[in-house]
Amino acid sequence: MHSTKRSLATALAGAALLAAGSALACNPDDFSTAGITACMNAQYKQADRVLGEQFWAAQRDLPDQRSDIKAVQRAWQSFRDQYCAARVDSEEGGREAPLARLSCLTQLTSARIGELVYYRTGLPQDGYYRAASVDPQVKELFDERFTSEHLNGERVEYIAQNCKLAQRLHDEAPDDCQKRMAFQVTLD
């Protein structure tokens, strides 16, 4: 019950600060919490706009995969919401919670944009394969870190659906896809 009250208080405080931040224009010289929030909110809104553009472009360019692209997007949205809520809860409702939320949303949105570009081009945008080709220990590290204990239901569902589509589109091995996706976002 206490956790639910804390989560509700965090959400309400975060919503109020986000509303205040979204009403302000981004001023890179304003280092107040509200000023930083305004700039982070602007950055997230830009990423979200690009995400929408890439989502529609993927559906347009891959009409036979349209329903799968939509299903993966829904799985990603569930994962994003759960993951970022957990990140904010870890801030315990402090003044930094809205900043943690915006940072999380922007990071995950940027990673998702990369996946949508990958669908269309076959070029992964996250640097995993480049890093693994320079240092073979990268793959070994992700072999060790990418275990079921690092995954929740939403993340498992998103990764499974995304890697299934990546395999169908670009013949990417599911194991490599899973490691590449783990490379995008910090594992808990």
Q: What is the pLDDT of residue 91?
A: 60
- Please check whether residue 112 lies inside any domain of the structure: yes
C-alpha span between 162 and 126 (Å, rounded): 14
Of 51, 79, 76, 72, the residue nearest 165 (C-alpha) = 72
Closest to 179 measured CA to CA, from 141, 134, 149, 153: 141
Spatial contact of 11 and 95, defined as CB atoms under 8 Å apart: no
161 domain-assigned: yes
HEC profile for 125-188?
CCCHHHHHHHCCHHHHHHHHHCCHHHCCHHHHHHHHHHHHHHHHHHCCCHHHHHHHHHHHCCCC
How many angstroms separate the CA atoms of 25 and 16, rounded?
16
Give the pTM.
Answer: 0.78
- Two tokens, residue 72: 């993966």
Please count the structural domains in the chain.
1
Exposed, middle or buried by CB within 10 Å (0-12, 13-18, 19+), for 154? Answer: middle
| Token digits of residue 172 | 């990417």
Domain limits for position 85: 48-184
Query: Is the residue at 179 inside a domain?
Result: yes
**Residue from 157, 153, 127 nearest 142 by CA:** 127
Q: What is the pLDDT of residue 156?
A: 83
Is 136 a domain residue?
A: yes
Identify whether 77 is part of a domain: yes
Residue 64: per-residue pLDDT: 97
Any domain includes 43: no
User: Tokens 């070029």 label which residue?
Assistant: 123
Q: What is the pLDDT along the chain (188 residues), one digit of tens a residue?
A: 444 344 433 333 344 444 444 456 878 777 787 788 889 999 999 999 999 999 999 999 999 999 999 999 999 999 999 989 887 876 666 777 888 899 999 999 999 999 999 999 998 877 777 777 777 776 676 666 555 555 667 788 898 999 999 999 999 998 888 888 877 776 55
In a domain, 32, yes or no: no
Tokens 């956790």 correspond to what residue? 3
pLDDT, residue 45, reads 96
pLDDT at residue 19 in the model:
44
Task: Identify whether 9 is part of a domain.
Answer: no
